[in-house]
Amino acid sequence: MFELTDQPIDATARRAQLARPDAGACVVFEGWVRNHHAGKPVSRLEYEAFDELARLEGEAITAEAEQEHPGCTVLCVHRTGSLGIGELAVWIGVVSPHRHAAFLACRQVIEEIKRRLPVWKKEHHSGNLAEWVNCTAESVAGRLAPENYYARQASLPEVGVTGQARLAEASVLVVGAGGLGCPAALYLATSGVGRLTLADAGKVEVSNLHRQILFTADDVGAAKATVAAARLRAQNPLVKIEAHASDVTPTNVRALVTGRTAVLDCTDNFATRFLLHDACRSAGVPLVSAAVYRFEGELNVFAPHQTGCLHCLWAGKPALSLEAVANCAGDPVFAPTVGLLGVMQAAETLKLILGLSTHADLSSTRLVNLLDASTQSLERPADPSCPVCAKVVSSSAAEAASFSLHPLNDSVVLTAEQLALLGPVQTIALLESGESLDAAAAPENTIAIAMADLGRLRELAARGPAVLTCRHGLRSVALARLLRAEGLPGIHALAGALSAIRPAR
Amino acid sequence: MTASRLLHLRFFAVLREQAGVSTLAVTTSARTPAELYAELVVSRGLTLPAALLRIAINDRYATMDTPLSPGDRVVFIPPVAGG
């Protein structure tokens, strides 16, 4: 539950509101107005919210926390209006049967509120000076600007601003948060994959800790997906991390893989591997699959429309009989083997998103043996009798190699160069309180409107293709996504900030 | 009669452990991977059912009845599922 209020928050009443007979823990976070900021004294604060978006986003944040931490009930109340020193600006309460989940959920809600909630604060300093501070800009764009976070990666010629924008647009599902999934997800998150979902029904066990590097001794007993998601959010607050703390089943697999840029098979069994493979194939999503045995591992990238699929590899052998002879949970594992294979999965996934995959990447099995440091690549030809591949055997290698993950028009975030390729598009500059547009430095015929004027924005967006820009390049992306969700497909956001927007003051 | 041919074998995962070696050069009269594997079951004590293995010849997946030629590099890969 989420509320915005211009009245003082009654913490005692809010706490009582959460009372539940089965709750064994209540974790409360209170955000107070303090008398200083960035070295300057502050005498009081004024909060202004982008109401409609703030309520939607606040509800989404609390609902996500309840979903990811089963058993938790979350209430978050955020103030607007004028607040004095020591007053409550935000109150978050989480009750749950056990304390571990309540602590995690509470921490998650405040971090997401700081990151995503469209709230601004005006700081009043002594001597009648006042300035508006964008809370999101302060916590994210200021402290953790994407251009700084990814500086050493985006400067690779193979990545660049365009590649970084593609990564931010990507949505990747990692199935299995174990020895493979932990390192794979870690590198996908730090590389800036915009949306990452971790699926695992398991709980952290002591015997996992030697190789499942996202977990610490304190996490034993907690849900793997939930703990891993919290760890990754701390590692990179710029990306969206979701936890699916239950099994992938024939019932939910379609919904989980549809619309993904790629899926990673980090599972330890053939049943889930075949399930994911078939769902990905039918949804047209590439599957990056790995498996290990002690010091050895194998990696396969199965791209849609590519022949040489998982069924070709196993020529109709049933998963059950493979399971019977394959290694399984409880078998010995040399930790660096899963580490290496998981990192290779991350690398192949990033290459898919960046358009760097070679034909061999998509049509070979890579074998690695850490005992003698050897690698081998085996070509995966199509099995002419494969029931899955038979109908696509005629597609040429060239067609398969040139398959495109991101037709320009489907991409929300575009660079200025990509926009030029699209033809005439209306530029809309979204201004926060006090900001102004330097028309001479902006693209021709740019229309400037207030960020909070959602009505005017919808009206302009309905007229035809448009690109949204703002001073930090963050909220413009959020609004472009919102408009697309409302059925306006021609709406894009400019990658990065628009320098023609002058800051407040 | 079938002539003997020199083949270069490579074993992966549990097959490597059962064979006791990663690589092995053999001179054999086996004409296909199926015949070769049957010999290895006897000579090296391999126990996995042939029907559940993958075979690659000269860095390309092949089937158990693909004809073998002198000098071929043959890889045996069992199902692997750890993660």
In three state form, how does the secondary structure of A18-58 look?
A: CCCCCCCEEEEEEEECCCEECCEECCEEEEEECHHHHHHHH
User: Which residue in A198, A248, A327, A333 has the most chain B C-beta atoms within 10 A of its own C-beta, making it the best mutation to test that interface?
Assistant: A327
Question: What is the SS3 assignment for A428?
Answer: strand
Q: Is the pTM of this model over 0.80?
A: no
Tell me the pLDDT of chain A averaged across its residues. 86
> Poorest-confidence range of A40-49, A173-182, B4-13?
A40-49
Residue A41 CA: distances (Å) to CA of A137, A486, B58: 20, 43, 74
Residue with tokens 């194998």: A298
Residues A194, A172, single domain; the answer is yes
Given pLDDT bands bounded at 50, 70 and 90, which one contains residue A393? very low
Torsion of CA A56, A108, A183, A174, to 10 degrees: -40
In terms of domains, do A154 and A101 share one? no
* Alpha-carbon separation of residue A40 from A35, A45, A277 (angstroms): 8, 13, 57
* CA proximity to A400, closest of A364, A370, A424, A366: A364
Contact A354, A163 (CB under 8 A): yes
Q: What is the pLDDT of residue A314?
A: 85
Residue A417's contacts (CB-CB under 8 Å, 6 or more residues apart) are A162
Ranking A118-122, A161-165, A270-274 by mean pLDDT, the lowest is A118-122
Two tokens, residue A91: 């109150």
Contact B10 A176 (CB under 8 A): no
Q: What is the ipTM of this complex?
A: 0.84
Contact B55, B63 (CB under 8 A): yes
Of A142, A160, A177, which residue sits at a domain end? A142
DSSP secondary structure string for all residues of A260-281: -SEEEE--S-HHHHHHHHHHHH
Is residue A204 located within the same domain as residue A99?
no
The DSSP letter of residue A409 is: G
Residues of A whose CB is below 8 A from B63: 315
Using an 8 Å CB-CB cutoff, list chain A residues near B77.
298, 367
Instruction: Give the DSSP letter of residue A223.
Output: B
Q: Confidence band (pLDDT; 50, 70, 90) for A130?
A: low
What chain A residue is nearest to B64 in terms of C-alpha separation? A315
Binning pLDDT at 50, 70 and 90, where does residue A401 land?
Answer: very low
Q: Is residue A400 pLDDT above 70, yes or no?
A: no
What distance in Å separates the CA atoms of residue A346 and residue A288, rounded to the nearest whole number?
Answer: 9
Instruction: Point out the domain boundary residue: A142, A168, A196.
Output: A142
Residues A202 and A308 in one domain: yes
Cross-chain CB nearest to B83 (options A176, A315, A374): A176
Give the residue with greater pLDDT, A100 vs A116: A100
As beta bridge partners, residue A47 has: A81, A121
| Residues found in chain A | 505
* Matching residue, tokens 């009505």: A455
| Alpha helices (runs of H) in A302-396, residue ranges in sequence order | 310-314, 319-325, 335-354
Are the beta carbons of B14 and A372 separated by less than 8 Å?
Answer: no
Per-residue model confidence (pLDDT) at position A287: 97
In chain B, what are the domain boundaries?
Answer: 5-77
Task: Supply the DSSP symbol for A432.
Answer: -
pLDDT in tens, A441-477: 888 889 999 887 888 888 888 888 899 998 877 778 7
CA distance, residue A429 to nearest chain B CA (Å): 48
CB contact under 8 A, A369 and B22: yes
B80 neighbourhood in chain A, CB within 8 Å: 291-293, 296-298, 326-327
Q: Which amino acid is at B32?
A: T
Higher pLDDT, A282 or A390: A282
Which pLDDT score, from 0 to 100, does residue A137 have? Answer: 43
CATH number at residue A427: 3.40.250.10
Residues B19-42: pLDDT tens digits? 999 999 999 999 999 999 999 999
| Chain B positions in Cβ-Cβ contact with residue A367 (cut-off 8 Å) | 12, 75, 77
Q: What is the 3-state secondary structure (H, E, C) of A292-320?
A: EEECEEEEEEECCCCCCCHHHHHCCCCHH
A48: which residues sit within 8 A by CB, 6+ positions away?
A: A80, A119, A120, A121, A122, A132, A433
Nearest to A475 by CA among A436, A431, A425: A431
Please indicate whether residue A141 or residue A460 has the higher confidence score (pLDDT).
Answer: A460
Number of domains in chain A: 3
The model's pLDDT over A60-79, given as tens digits with 9 standing for 90+, comes to 999 999 988 889 999 999 99
Residues of A in contact with B83 (CB under 8 A): 176, 178-181, 266-268, 290-292, 338
SS3 for A157-181, per residue?
A: CCCHHHHHHHHHHCEEEEECCCCCH
Domain boundary residue, one of A96, A113, A142: A142
C-beta neighbour count of A172 within 10 angstroms: 27
- Range of the structural domain that residue A486 is part of: 408-502
Q: Which CATH number is B5-77 given?
A: 3.10.20.30
Give me the count of residues in chain B. 83
Confidence at A141, pLDDT banded by 50, 70, 90: very low
Q: Is residue A67 located within the same domain as residue A100?
A: yes
Give yes or no for residue A138 having a pLDDT over 70.
Answer: no
Mean pLDDT of all residues belonging to chain B? 92
Tracing tokens 């599972």 back to the chain, one arrives at A267
- Contact of A29 with A106, CB cutoff 8 Å: yes
d(CA A343, CA A211): 13
pLDDT over 50 (residue B44): yes
Residue A195 has a pLDDT of: 96
Angle between helices A99-116 and A224-235 (to 10 degrees): 40
What is the rounded average pLDDT of the residues A407-419? 69
State how far residue A291 is from chain B, nearest Cα, in angstroms.
Answer: 5
The band of B7, judged by pLDDT with boundaries at 50, 70 and 90, is very high
Could you give the CA distance from residue A227 to residue A249 in angstroms, rounded to a whole number? 21
A150 with A137, same domain: the answer is: no
* CATH of residue A178: 3.40.50.720
Alpha-carbon gap, residue A90 to A32, rounded angstroms? 7
pLDDT at A300 over 90: yes
Query: Over the Cα atoms of chain B, what is R_g?
Result: 12
pLDDT for the residue A462 = 85
Q: How far is B78 from chain A (nearest CA, A)?
A: 7
Q: Which residue has the higher pLDDT, A417 or A34?
A: A34
Least confident of A191-195, A282-286, A310-314, A432-436: A432-436
Whether the CB-CB separation of A210 and A164 falls below 8 Å is answered with: no
Which residues on A lie below 8 Å from B52 (Cβ)? 317, 321-322, 325
Residues B65/A315, Cβ–Cβ less than 8 Å: no
- CA-closest candidate to residue A270, choices A249, A291, A299, A243: A291
Q: Mean per-residue pLDDT for A367-393?
A: 82
pLDDT band (50, 70, 90) for residue A433: confident
Q: Is A239 helix (H, G, I), strand (E, B) or coil?
A: coil
Given CB atoms, is B10 within the 8 Å cutoff of chain A? Answer: yes
User: Dihedrals φ, ψ of A440, to 5°?
Assistant: -65, -30
For tokens 């209430």, name the residue. Answer: A75
What Å distances lie between residue A386 and A25, A275, A312, B78, B79, CA to CA?
55, 16, 6, 20, 18
Kindly determine whether residue A298 and residue B80, on different chains, have CB atoms separated by under 8 Å. yes
Q: Which has the closest alpha carbon to A85: A39, A127, A37?
A: A37
Query: How close, in Å, is residue A410 to chain B by CA atoms?
Result: 34
Helix axes A99-116, A51-68, angle to 10 degrees: 150
- The CA-atom distances, in angstroms, between A304 and each of A363, A404, A467, B53 are 11, 10, 31, 25
Q: Which residues of B touch A381 (CB under 8 A)?
A: 60-61
Do residue B82 and residue A268 have CB atoms under 8 angstroms apart? yes
pLDDT at residue A395, rounded to an integer: 36
Closest listed residue to residue A357, CA positions, set A311, A288, A309, A418: A288
Question: Which residues does B65 contact at the CB level (< 8 Å), separation at least 6?
Answer: B32, B33, B34
Residue A57 has pLDDT above 90, yes or no: no
Helix (H, G, I), strand (E, B) or coil at A227: helix
Cα dihedral value A134, A136, A139, A142, nearest 10: -70
Instruction: Say if the Cβ atoms of B82 and A322 lie within 8 Å.
Output: no
